[in-house]
Amino acid sequence: METNNNILDLLNIVSSDTTEDFIKHINELFIKCSIGKYHIWDVIGNICEPCQYINSDIYATFDIFELGFKEDEVFLKDINLDISYFDYTYHIDSAIFLSHNSRVTHIITFDNPLPKDLEEKIKFIAPYFGKRSVELFSKERQMDLYIDYQKKVDFIKRASIIFMCLEIEEVISMSISFFMDVFSADAVCAIYNNEFHGIGVNEEDLLNNITIYDTPLKDYMMNLDETIFIENEVISSKFNIKNTFFIYDKSSDLRFALFNIIVDIVPDKDFSSLVSSIVSIATENALNHEALTKFKIEETEIAHTADILNKFVKRTIQLDNNDKIYGISYPARNAGGDFVNLMQIGNDYIFCVADVCGKGYSAAVLTVVLSVFMSHFKSADELTAKVTNLNQFLISKNFGDRFITSFFGIYHSDTKELEYISCGHDPAAVISKNNKIEYMTSDYMPMGIMLEDYKSKSIKIDDNSIIFIYTDGLTEYASLDDLLCLVNALSDEKSKDIAETLYKELVTDTSLQKDDFTCLIMKI
């Protein structure tokens, strides 16, 4: 039985889907086999560091050859090496080099000899370990590149909130918070009109505790004339500063410094220029707009407001005598910023799924606007004109940092065509009976940001298809691919059952619901 368990453990390792699972399964096997002291090392190029996926007793870095590496050798025993890192010494009796096609991804070193039976099994399966490790590394490297691209796209989308600021002080405050969040910076500061603003550092630090090229950092920033990323040049007697990203806006003479950013979004020349442009546009807008609206609502008034707002937005929506179309909108708070609506005019079904930027009561107010807007539809021929009018109305009201991602659609049951306009919304999907998926992506910015020349698109809907429109509250819990797989698995159920099952499956604890949960299911 123990042998069978070991074989199962080895198979679990080889069949791991991620590098993290791969390493953890190896670690679990060694623990089960009561292996003595061992270390697992990540290998990048020729540099080895303790593996990030398991706890290590001490941090150290070594060259791969210091750990006994030999070309074309997968398993080495009786190495009998002692290597030191400062006052800590590692003893290596044997080692496994997880490699394939001359690429090494991990090394496992053992302080003591392995049990003979386990040694034989590992020696046999080590090449398979190496092949799988390299496969996972290559796959995740490609994914990292894709994620890096997506993060830049997401950065641009999220930066739109800065454009909505109407005062320079608001631009500075929002930018500091935004940069700190997006770049995962340890600290951020800004200087405008010689006034200091910061999180994590103060003005005294810039004058006396931080220097660059032997110049106090504040003096350096005041003479800065470009946006630039610098590593290992900023010196501090108080902080450990590894890198600094300086952002300069010439038009407003606004300067930022971001300390110890996590370089998920590589601040290359083009991207640095983009960041400067964002700040420049935001400050230019803010300097031309100095209106600020403030309002406060007492606790009793808030509860009353929520009750009023909720009367305009239905939590579930279904047409009479039609169980093929069903929508839900379950807010994360008492009042939500998501919206779903459906109506029938003749043989046409007009619907909207939308997500107001932000949460709570201020976002919910704009769902009332959407509710009123939908009530004014009189004909299925009005889609483009109505969406244009709504966008113009939102822009004219200057709602600050509020905008709306939205998907408007009309299903013409006579022609079996879906006409739609998507404004900055997540891709909607049509799942055909043969499991073919057709995505309906956005061609426009979210509503309330800029004037657009809207034109609707149309797609033919095959019989027995499912139209699935949702907000990003669903992708907080699962990827789009997983969502579509779940919808497809429920395709034989009624639309109501599909929508309600999605909510129950994904939001297992409603008290911890992350975002408003809204979707519309249409079975054709």
Task: Scan for tokens 């394939």, then name that residue.
Answer: 100
Half-sphere exposure of 49 (CA within 13 A, CB side): 6
pLDDT, residue 3, reads: 53
Q: The domain at 302-523 falls in which architecture? A: 4-Layer Sandwich (3.60)
Kind and range of the H or E run holding 89: strand 88-92
pLDDT, residue 499, reads: 95
Q: Where in the sequence of the chain do the CATH 3.60.40.10 domains occur?
A: 302-523
Helix boundaries (H) for 381-434: 383-396
Q: Where in the sequence of the chain do the CATH 3.30.450.40 domains occur?
A: 2-141, 164-287
pLDDT, residue 221, reads: 93
- Asked whether the beta carbons of 503 and 516 are under 8 A apart, the reply is no
pLDDT, residue 293, reads: 44
Token duo for residue 412: 């013409």
pLDDT, residue 291, reads: 40
Q: Which CATH number fits domain 2-141: 3.65.10.10, 3.20.20.140, 3.40.50.1820, 3.30.450.40?
A: 3.30.450.40
> 423 by DSSP, 3-state: which?
strand
**Superfamily assignment of 164-287 in CATH?**
GAF domain (3.30.450.40)
CA-to-CA separations, 506 to 282, 338, 502, 518, in angstroms, rounded: 38, 17, 6, 12
Report the amino acid identity of residue 333.
Answer: R
pLDDT, residue 1, reads: 43
Task: Scan for tokens 């004014």, then name that residue.
Answer: 376
Q: Give average pLDDT by consecutive 10-residue segment, the chain, 524 residues.
A: 60 83 87 85 89 78 90 85 86 90 89 84 82 83 65 70 77 84 88 90 92 92 89 88 89 88 67 74 74 46 66 82 90 83 92 86 81 85 92 88 92 95 96 92 94 95 95 92 94 94 92 90 94
Q: What is the largest CA-CA distance in the chain?
A: 84
pLDDT, residue 205, reads: 92
pLDDT, residue 295, reads: 46
